[in-house]
């Protein structure tokens, strides 16, 4: 709607381009009669001048209509991409799981561009060529309605052909877009896993895997080409057959004296000028199908439900008291609970360590706190408020996370540390850098904090990336801290610095530590050992070692011994 007047102006030029072709046919006929029958001398000058003027009108109108529509389409394309981007930023976790990154990339790069580019081109052809067909048909009827009626015999055949091709193309195009998204997914997977591919020497395997999906795309594109290519020549054949019949009838009428030479030339010119728009209208069918399939996919993405914010209260001056009231979580399309009937009261400033084998539900549990997932049963309270009644913005403002999966942006070290804390001062950043044991590393870099980290931090080691993410959490200074394998990629020296920094940071703050490396949770207030989503045991380190249960078994497996031979 913001571009409605531009579109109206484009349509005016488009209709002018369509109408000018009928002027050419009529002018040719009139000039023919004047030149042959009246022998007018001025026709020698008027004929070329008239044709040049009409050609200028036709060409100028085509240029302006195409330019205006393309400008509108690019503006709308920009808005559409912003709409998709805004939407998927606010998706719930389940929607992220259901949409691979390759599919989303395809919507930005391929589908949105196809939908809008085809929309502009298709609109131009539909309006311009439809006008041209209407005006030229009017010329035919005006000069000889019987000949025009003979011409219209071909219309039902063309319609049936277009309908068949449209149905075939819709099916092929939808499959083709799915295959293209699969290519993007696989390229991204292999690109990010290049070290694993090299060390595993799986070049041939990956080539075969890519070759199969690439061949599927080729077959789809060939099928689409066959469907689209057969439509144009068939339509042309039908049209030319109709033209041949009409010309035969017209020549008969001319010989009988029912048509003048000018009428015949006008009729012939109008029929010949009808061929290009009919051809374009036939070929535009493929564009319509591609545009429709792409648009359906895009609008389906835009129509995905955003993350539901049921909160109406604001969490201010958070103390950090957390209560898990018989909480359970079951992921969509699974048949068992990831977390089952978890009950725990955490006082402000407590440090809760969650341990257990992989898949025991530790990360699932802490992901419930910032409402990345919503419990399927039970409730979680922070400072006595059900987190479902707290706005997402204020809830997450009071929580900082350092995840096992380090997320860095292709920006400087400074901007990655200050991400989410734009008002941080240089002194604040310096303190976070010192606490995360990054001072010496950054000092060794020529650009210091302004050093780019590369895409996904690929210019840094695993430990360096992890420490930057820890510095980011330190800078946020939230009352609730989640450390999901926060020290997993650190060497012993860096870990020692981090442990000291975290010990200082956790004073007066409620901390949840998900840990496989048990040496990082020595000072935890409470250790919760989980197995398959259920709490097996909980207590202090000494209490759990004395029980000789799951926690003690985990300690033995890590072969960390003290003088007593069983502590970790």
Q: What is the pLDDT of residue 463?
A: 78
Domain harbouring 278, CATH code: 1.20.1560.10
Query: Look-up: residue for tokens 């990154």?
Result: 101
Is the pLDDT higher at 19 or at 415? 415
Of the pLDDT bands very low, low, confident and very high (cuts 50, 70, 90), residue 38 is low
Asked if residue 431 is part of any domain, the answer here is no
Measure the CA–CA gap between 358 and 516, rounded to whole angstroms: 9
> pLDDT tens-digit profile of 447-479?
999 999 887 788 888 778 888 888 888 888 889
Instruction: Give the other-Cβ count within 10 Å of 309's Cβ.
Output: 14
Asked if residue 217 is part of any domain, the answer here is yes
Give the three-class secondary structure for 536: strand
Buried b (16+ CB within 10 A) or exposed e, 34-57: bbeeeeeeebeeebeebeeebeeb
Of 3-7, 27-31, 375-379, which has the strongest mean pLDDT?
Answer: 375-379
Of the pLDDT bands very low, low, confident and very high (cuts 50, 70, 90), residue 169 is low
The residues, ordered by sequence, that sit 6+ positions from 239 with a Cβ below 8 Å of its Cβ are 154, 158, 274, 275, 278, 279
Strand partners, 377: 328
Mean pLDDT of the chain: 79
Which tokens hold the place of 20? 């000018």
- Kindly state the percentage of the chain with pLDDT values over 90: 20
Measure the CA–CA gap between 2 and 129, rounded to whole angstroms: 26
Which tokens hold the place of 498? 């981090």
Taking the model in full, what pTM does it have?
0.67
Q: What is the count of structural domains for the chain?
A: 1
pLDDT tops 90 at residue 219: no
Asked if residue 455 is part of any domain, the answer here is no
Instruction: Give the other-Cβ count within 10 Å of 530's Cβ.
Output: 25
> pLDDT tens-digit profile of 342-367?
999 999 999 999 999 888 999 999 99
Asked if residue 438 is part of any domain, the answer here is no
Asked if residue 159 is part of any domain, the answer here is yes
Asked if residue 321 is part of any domain, the answer here is no
Q: Cα 385–391–397 angle (5° rounding)?
A: 95
Asked if residue 292 is part of any domain, the answer here is yes
Q: What average pLDDT does range 492-515 have in this prediction?
A: 74
Which tokens hold the place of 530? 């989980």
> pLDDT tens-digit profile of 275-319?
677 667 766 666 677 777 778 878 888 888 888 888 899 999 899
Q: What is the pLDDT of residue 119?
A: 72
Q: What average pLDDT does range 55-67 have in this prediction?
A: 82
Judged by average pLDDT, the poorest of 46-50, 183-187, 191-195, 292-296 is 191-195
The answer to whether 365 and 339 have CB atoms below 8 angstroms apart is: yes
DSSP state, residue 38: I
Domain extent at residue 271:
4-302
The answer to whether 417 and 409 have CB atoms below 8 angstroms apart is: no
Q: What average pLDDT does range 212-235 have in this prediction?
A: 73
The answer to whether 513 and 483 have CB atoms below 8 angstroms apart is: yes
Measure the CA–CA gap between 514 and 500, rounded to whole angstroms: 18
Asked if residue 435 is part of any domain, the answer here is no
Nearest to 360 by CA among 376, 342, 339: 339
């Amino acid at each position: 709607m913001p571009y409605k007047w531009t579109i109206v102006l484009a349509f005016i030029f488009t209709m002018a381009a369509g109408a000018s072709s009928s002027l050419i046919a009529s002018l040719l006929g009139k000039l023919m009669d004047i030149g042959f029958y009246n022998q007018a001398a001025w026709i020698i000058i008027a004929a070329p001048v008239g044709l040049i003027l009409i050609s200028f009108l036709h060409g100028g109108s085509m240029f302006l209509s195409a330019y205006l529509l393309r400008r509108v389409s690019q503006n709308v394309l920009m808005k559409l991409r912003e709409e998709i981007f805004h939407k998927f930023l606010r998706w719930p976790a389940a929607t992220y799981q259901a949409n691979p990154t390759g599919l989303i990339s395809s919507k930005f790069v391929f589908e949105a561009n196809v939908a809008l580019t085809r929309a502009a081109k298709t609109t131009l052809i539909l309006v311009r060529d439809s006008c041209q067909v209407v005006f030229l048909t009017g010329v035919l009827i005006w000069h000889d309605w019987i000949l025009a009626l003979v011409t219209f015999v071909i219309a039902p055949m063309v319609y049936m052909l277009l309908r068949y091709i449209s149905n075939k193309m819709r099916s092929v195009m939808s499959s083709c877009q799915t295959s293209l998204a699969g290519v993007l997914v696989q390229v991204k997977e292999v690109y990010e896993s290049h070290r694993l591919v090299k060390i595993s020497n799986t070049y041939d395997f990956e080539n075969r895997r890519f070759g199969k999906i690439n061949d599927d795309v080729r077959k789809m594109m060939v099928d689409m080409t066959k469907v689209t290519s057969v439509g144009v020549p068939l339509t042309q054949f039908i049209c030319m057959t109709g033209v041949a019949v009409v010309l035969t009838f017209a020549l008969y009428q001319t010989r009988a004296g029912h048509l003048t030479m000018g009428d015949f030339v006008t009729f012939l010119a109008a029929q010949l000028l009808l061929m290009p728009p009919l051809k374009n209208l036939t070929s535009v069918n493929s564009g319509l199908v591609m545009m429709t399939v792409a648009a359906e996919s895009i609008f389906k993405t835009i129509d995905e439900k955003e993350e539901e914010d049921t909160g109406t209260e604001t969490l201010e001056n958070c103390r950090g008291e957390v209560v898990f009231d018989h909480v359970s979580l079951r992921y969509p399309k699974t048949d068992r609970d990831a977390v089952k009937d978890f009950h725990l009261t955490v006082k402000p400033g407590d440090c809760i360590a969650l341990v257990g084998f992989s898949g025991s539900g530790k990360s699932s549990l802490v992901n419930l706190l910032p409402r990345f997932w919503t419990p399927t049963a039970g409730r979680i309270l922070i400072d006595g408020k059900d987190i479902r009644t707290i706005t997402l913005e204020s809830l997450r403002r009071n929580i900082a996370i350092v995840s096992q999966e380090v997320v860095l942006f292709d920006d400087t070290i400074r901007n990655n540390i200050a991400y989410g804390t734009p008002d941080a001062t240089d002194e604040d950043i310096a303190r976070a850098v010192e606490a995360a044991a990054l001072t010496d590393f950054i000092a060794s870099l020529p650009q210091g904090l302004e050093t780019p980290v590369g895409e996904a931090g690929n210019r840094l080691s695993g430990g360096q990336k992890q420490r930057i993410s820890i510095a980011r959490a330190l800078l946020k200074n939230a009352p609730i801290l989640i450390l999901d394998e926060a020290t997993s990629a650190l060497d012993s020296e860096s870990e020692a610095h981090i442990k000291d920094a975290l010990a200082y940071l956790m004073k007066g703050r409620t901390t949840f530590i998900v840990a496989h490396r048990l040496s990082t949770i020595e000072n935890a207030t409470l250790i919760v050992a989980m197995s398959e989503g259920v709490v097996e045991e909980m207590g202090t380190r000494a209490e759990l070692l004395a029980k000789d249960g799951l926690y003690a078994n985990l300690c033995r497996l890590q072969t960390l011994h003290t003088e007593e031979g069983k502590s970790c």
